[in-house]
Amino acid sequence: MRLDFYLSHVTELARKAAKIAAAKGRVTVNGEVVKKANYMVQQSDQICLDAELLAWPSEGYYLVNKPAGYVCANQDPEHPIVLDLLPAHLGQQLNIVGRLDKDTTGLLLLTTDGQWLHRITSPRHVCDKRYRVHLADPILDEAIQQLEVGVLLNGEDQLTKPAKVERLASNEIYLTIQEGKYHQVKRMLAAVGNRVEALHRDQIGPLQLGEGISAGEYRALTSDEVAYF
Ligand code: URA
């Protein structure tokens, strides 16, 4: 695979930063400095960044800052898909960890590791997901209390699990939920008589999107981040 793809896979460097690191002479392959980002590396190569030997990737774990307009699907005839945000050879191997709607932005995880994916998405595992929610109307105290207790979604027969709500402005909240039902946040707010105007996920478990990744960018997770789940 290309050197810059490899580096973005096994280090914290995003692809652009990986290209710069190589151009600056920080990367060696089998003892030789390699400055070209399109140099093809293979598993038998000894690849070092700043003289530190790097491993060949096994499972892949990535986060993406999903922009609006992208769909969480493996293919779509009309819209761009989130996997298009990564190099093709990576995107083809990855599974999407819990889907976001086309108009929802923010933190999305992708992995090759099925068990890890299951730990984040399975209802049997507790994993908080935090959303910043812009609402059409000011949110009332009673609505917040209802969300904190649990609401009945259209078409369901059980209340949602208690959510955490933090008011940020009259019509903006952080909503933290542990479930991931279809359109869950939009349906929860509809259940309390409001309407979601914009939705952004900024945290899954202890993993925050942070400021460093702009919309449309991706990066590999660190081993500590992978171990959160
Ligand atoms: N809830 C929604 O309604 N939409 C999303 O994209 C995520 C959670």
pLDDT one digit per residue (tens) for the chain, 229 residues? 899 989 987 888 888 999 999 999 999 999 999 999 999 999 899 999 999 999 887 788 999 999 999 999 999 999 999 999 998 877 778 999 999 999 999 999 999 999 999 999 998 889 999 999 999 999 999 999 999 999 999 889 999 999 999 999 999 999 999 999 999 999 999 999 999 999 999 999 999 998 889 999 999 999 899 989 9
Atom of ligand 1 lying closest to residue 196 CA: 3
Which CATH number covers residue 107?
A: 3.30.70.580
Residues 140 and 195 placed together within one structural domain of the fold: yes
Q: Are residues 116 and 213 in the same domain?
A: yes
Both 212 and 117 in a single domain? yes
Contacts of 128 (CB under 8 A, 6+ apart): 164, 176, 177, 178, 203, 204, 205
88 Cα: distance to centroid of ligand 1 (angstroms): 26
- For residue 161, what are the contacts with CB-CB under 8 A and spacing of at least 6? 150, 177, 178, 179
- Ligand 1 centroid distance, CA of 104 (Å): 7
> How many angstroms does the Cα of residue 149 sit away from the middle of ligand 1?
19
pTM score > 0.85 for this model?
no
Q: 32 and 140, same structural domain?
A: no
In short, whether 221's Cβ falls inside 6 Å of ligand 1 is no
Same domain, yes or no: 200 and 211: no
26 and 70 belong to one structural domain: no
- Please indicate, yes or no, whether residues 143 and 168 belong to a single structural domain of this protein: yes
Residue 93: the pLDDT is 81
To test ligand 1's pocket by mutation, which of 133, 176, 187, 199 has the most ligand atoms within 8 angstroms of CB? 199
Q: Is 28 in the pocket of ligand 1 (CB under 6 A)?
A: no
Note whether 48 and 147 are same-domain residues.
no
Q: Are residues 163 and 213 in the same domain?
A: no
The residue range of the domain holding 29 is: 3-53
Q: Which of 71, 101, 107, 147 should be mutated for ligand 1, with most atoms under 8 A from CB? A: 101
**How far is the C-alpha of 32 from the C-alpha of 106, rounded, in Å?**
39
Instruction: State whether 173 and 188 are in the same domain.
Output: yes
Instruction: Please give the full DSSP string across 17-47, using - where no structure is assigned.
Output: HHHHHHHTT-EEETTEE---TTPBP-TTS-E
Q: How many angstroms does the Cα of residue 186 sit away from the middle of ligand 1? A: 6
Q: What is the CATH number of the domain that holds 134?
A: 3.30.70.1560
Q: How many domains does the chain have?
A: 3
One-letter identity of residue 159:
L
CA neighbor of 107 nearest in space, from 207, 222, 224, 2:
207
What's the CATH code of the domain at 46? 3.10.290.10
Q: Are residues 190 and 214 in the same domain?
A: no
Q: What is the rounded (10 degree) CA torsion for 97, 217, 72, 125?
A: 20
Does residue 212 share a domain with residue 103? Answer: yes
